[in-house]
Amino acid sequence: MILNTELEYKGDLFPSNIISFTKDVDTLHFYASNGVILQMTIVRDSVFRFRYTTTGIFDEDFSYAITKYASRGYNELEITEDDEKYIVTTAKLVCHIHKADMRKSIYDVNDNTLLSQDELGFHWEESYEFGGDIVKMSKISQDGESYYGLGDKPVHLNLKGKRFENWVTDSYAYGKDTDPIYKAIPFYVGLHHRKAYGIFFDNTFRTYFDFAQERRNITSFWAQGGEMNYYFIYGPEMSAVVENYTDLTGKPHQLPPLWALGYHQCKWSYYPESKVKEIANTFRELKIPCDAIYLDIDYMEGFRCFTWNNEYFPNPKKMVQELADDGFKTIVIIDPGIKIDPEYSIFKEGLENGYFCKRADGPYMKGKVWPGECYFPDFTNPEVREWWSDLFRELIEETGVKGVWNDMNEPAVMEVPGKTFPNDVRHDYDGNHCSHRKAHNIYGMQMARATYQGVKKYSYPKRPFVITRAAYSGTQRYTSSWTGDNVATWEHLWIANVQAQRMSMSGFSFIGSDIGGFAEQPNGELYVRWIQLGVFHPFCRTHSSGDHGDQEPWAFDENVTDIVRKFIEIRYELLPYLYTIFWKYANEGTPMLKSLVLYDQDDTQTHYRTDEFIYGEKILVCPINEPNAKGRRMYIPRGKWYNYWNDTIVSGGKETWVDADIDFMPLFIKEGAIIPKYPVQQYVGEKEIEQVTLEVYYKEGKEKSELYEDAADGYDYIKGRYSLRSFTLVGRKDELIIQQHKSGKFITSYETFKIKLHGLPFKIQKVEVDNEEMVFEEVKMNGDNTLEISKEFTELHIIGENSSK
Ligand code: GLC
């Protein structure tokens, strides 16, 4: 196989026949006669880990991606053999390991579907230049197989027929198909014969994935160093694959503070203080909800991290407090480059303690970023992370900053080939000393981790908020992320949609794009269409570069402002819904955005869809990606859906035209859903919530919905002080029953629900709450199928006039 490496190709080597094996609790070792060892761990009954060594000895088993808990093995393992192969069986899978050549085939234990089959399987090329191996794996692409995942790739959701590289890269104004860009998430999902499995190649070197591009029926992945070390994760549901991957690489360590799910406003840069205040005041004057305002690099003194420009910001603490009094949380940028300046305390400390990265022969890694020549902390050293985390004390504890934005952490270096560190730079890698070839892809992750530790420490007892540009698998444990320096074009609106969905199916749901585009300037129409999409992304922030004009909701015309307000208000109304899906993500790893294929993989029509997605579990969203549109054709997934704007019901499983003039977008609610809503607030916590509206969408049949709430910040929820309400809706021809099951110790501020019934096919004769008939006054039955009841109800029974009950 001819591989796209820069190195001279010297021929592939292969394992020879297996001569013996050993078994302990959850791990098998297969020994080939030429010294290759395959280590196979049964991590779960649906998760295998495969590692290979060509030297007879494995590297220290260390991963930044895998959580300790998840890598703990499974303790039931069954192995048998026949003449040709070993057979390992679990409750979900069967794996054959062929004695002749170590190749593997994996089957579904129930129906023997062949899920994954090695073609050449593991093979390698020795690397003369760097030592070690270029490790490779090739598999047969099954009939009709599709591929998804890989983080932030700005390409069609289905990866089939394409080749990709994972090398975290600063990619200003990248475009459709640019590869690689900011993130390295070497995880993909394969789907064929209605069954989905995932592969996570936990190798931080430059990795490549080929999805039947070089050869039509072969999929392969390889790395420029390190071990062939990968996880095979079985579904068969794609959602289960993603959940298991997220479990392996870690779910967010805590819920975000609720305000972080509000709307954020950013620009490069808002300064001086009067400008920041003017922006904040305008939000309040125009009544456009907003929770956070960002300070980009110009708040610093000569771009020195952890300093303030006193001319622009004479009293940061006072300003941050005044903004806070008006509901704004201040978020500041912190980059990795530390300005070389003997007068600058952070530089001095870093230097004195040996915290900066060095080149192979000893000089410091020197590179140009915003402040000019810089040195860079080695965030792969735990001592450096500790030091770095302490640097946030003043910003967070003293000044009152509420969140930190990590940027340029690929790491980006200006005016040099490759725009990053050279390969020879040395890293601690938590005691597994290595070069930048191995540490590059996790550098940004470790910076975000150190930042997270600091922000968390000093925000306590409140929750931290961090955002990062660079990421490797597992970064979702610490931080949110955005998709980097996009452009104000219609194509980029499409890209933003695909990237957010792809990140979500790659275990990283807390994601959004620079709304409106970072480079260049959108017109009002593009900005509106982008906001419409952005309010349905878990992270929702307008950001733009300074040199292309203004990009606030009022920077266009009044009509734009009004539509933007309308959509941001929808985001704020849906906050309890968004918080509930975040809780599900943090708890179970459930992706917050579901591409249609993730939502309904059995419907092959979904396999090549890109635009439509499910926000959480119940809301179908489809952005308008073109100028002058009065609507669009879109695919409605199977089942019945209510048009959000007019309650008309459509049956899915087909493409349909949907009207959506500039002040609308295609939005549908799954029938049977119960969607919780808060009143519109200008910022989270502006109002005490006195009533929650439950939008109930009638269905003939059964449907479950959930509502999760807690104090919206702090850690009491971990001690059980949360409120989880599970609703079961059962609709029949002449009645509708909603049962509520409550758990948790948190007492919500409101006492009542306002129930809004949509699509009820009968006229109401009477209403019973917990088996007692309520007179209409008591339930405050209104003419428009709206009623108010106590939040404590167990069963709400709505009985139609033709019912015999
Ligand atoms: C990078 C970031 C961008 C930021 C700019 C200045 O380009 O991606 O978001 O505004 O640097 O800090």
Q: At the topology level of CATH, where does 11-249 sit? A: Immunoglobulin-like (2.60.40)
CB of 516 closer than 8 Å to CB of 533 = no
* Burial class, 267, CB count within 10 angstroms (exposed 0-12 / middle 13-18 / buried 19+): buried
CB of 198 closer than 8 Å to CB of 190 = yes
Is 152 touching ligand 1 by the criterion CB < 6 Å?
no
Ligand 1 center to 488 CA (angstroms): 15
CB of 706 closer than 8 Å to CB of 726 = yes
DSSP 572: H
Which atom of ligand 1 is the closest one to the Cα of 408? 1
Best residue among 168, 304, 332, 408 to mutate for probing ligand 1, ranked by most atoms within 8 Å of CB: 408
DSSP reduced 3-state for 805: coil
Q: What is the pLDDT of residue 772?
A: 83
Is 335 touching ligand 1 by the criterion CB < 6 Å?
no
Q: What is the pLDDT of residue 639?
A: 98
Ligand 1 center to 268 CA (angstroms): 7
Q: Indicate which residue's Cα is closest to atom 10 of ligand 1.
A: 268
In the predicted model, residues of the chain with pLDDT beneath 50 are 1-5, 7, 778
Is 541 touching ligand 1 by the criterion CB < 6 Å?
no
Is 469 touching ligand 1 by the criterion CB < 6 Å?
yes
DSSP 221: E
Here the contacts of 599-602 (C-beta below 8 Å, separation 24 or greater) are 599/637, 600/637, 600/638, 601/191, 601/194, 601/196, 601/237, 601/238, 602/194
- The one-letter amino acid code at 571 reads R
Is 268 touching ligand 1 by the criterion CB < 6 Å?
yes
Q: Indicate which residue's Cα is closest to atom 5 of ligand 1.
A: 268
Is 295 touching ligand 1 by the criterion CB < 6 Å?
no
Q: Which two tokens stand for residue 557?
A: 């015309």
Q: Which residues of 106-134 are buried (b: 16+ CB within 10 A; e: fewer)?
A: bbbbeeeeebbbbbbbbbbbebeeeebbb
**Strands laid side by side in the 613-615 sheet:** 593-595, 613-615, 619-621, 667-670, 640-643, 649-651
Which atom of ligand 1 is the closest one to the Cα of 296? 12
Q: What is the pLDDT of residue 69?
A: 67
Q: Indicate which residue's Cα is closest to atom 3 of ligand 1.
A: 485
Name residue, tokens 């049962």.
739
Which atom of ligand 1 is the closest one to the Cα of 546? 10
Q: Apex CA 266: angle with CA 260 and CA 271, to 5°?
A: 125
Ligand 1 center to 407 CA (angstroms): 7
Is 573 touching ligand 1 by the criterion CB < 6 Å?
no
Ligand 1 center to 267 CA (angstroms): 9
Is 482 touching ligand 1 by the criterion CB < 6 Å?
no
Q: What is the pLDDT of residue 781?
A: 58
Ligand 1 center to 212 CA (angstroms): 36
Q: What is the pLDDT of residue 1?
A: 45
Q: Indicate which residue's Cα is closest to atom 7 of ligand 1.
A: 485
Give me the helices (H) in 286-381, please. 316-325, 345-352
- Give the chain's end-to-end CA distance (angstroms, integer): 73
Tens digits of residue pLDDT in 419-456: 999 999 999 999 999 999 999 999 999 999 999 999 99
- Give catalytic residues, as residue numbers: 407, 410, 485
Tens digits of residue pLDDT in 699-740: 999 999 999 999 999 999 999 999 999 999 999 999 999 999
Q: Indicate which residue's Cα is closest to atom 4 of ligand 1.
A: 268
Q: What is the pLDDT of residue 785?
A: 87
CATH superfamily, region 676-800: Golgi alpha-mannosidase II (2.60.40.1180)
Q: Where are the domains of the chain?
A: 11-249, 676-800
- The one-letter amino acid code at 161 reads G
Is 485 touching ligand 1 by the criterion CB < 6 Å?
yes
CB of 480 closer than 8 Å to CB of 256 = yes
Ligand 1 center to 372 CA (angstroms): 15
Q: What beta strand segments (E) does 638-761 contain? A: 640-643, 649-651, 654-659, 667-670, 674-677, 691-697, 701-709, 723-732, 735-743, 752-758
Q: What is the pLDDT of residue 773?
A: 78
Which atom of ligand 1 is the closest one to the Cα of 543? 9
Is 332 touching ligand 1 by the criterion CB < 6 Å?
no
Q: What is the pLDDT of residue 783?
A: 61
Which atom of ligand 1 is the closest one to the Cα of 484? 8
Q: Which residues of 231-254 are buried (b: 16+ CB within 10 A; e: fewer)?
A: bbbbbbebbbbbbbbbbbbbbbee
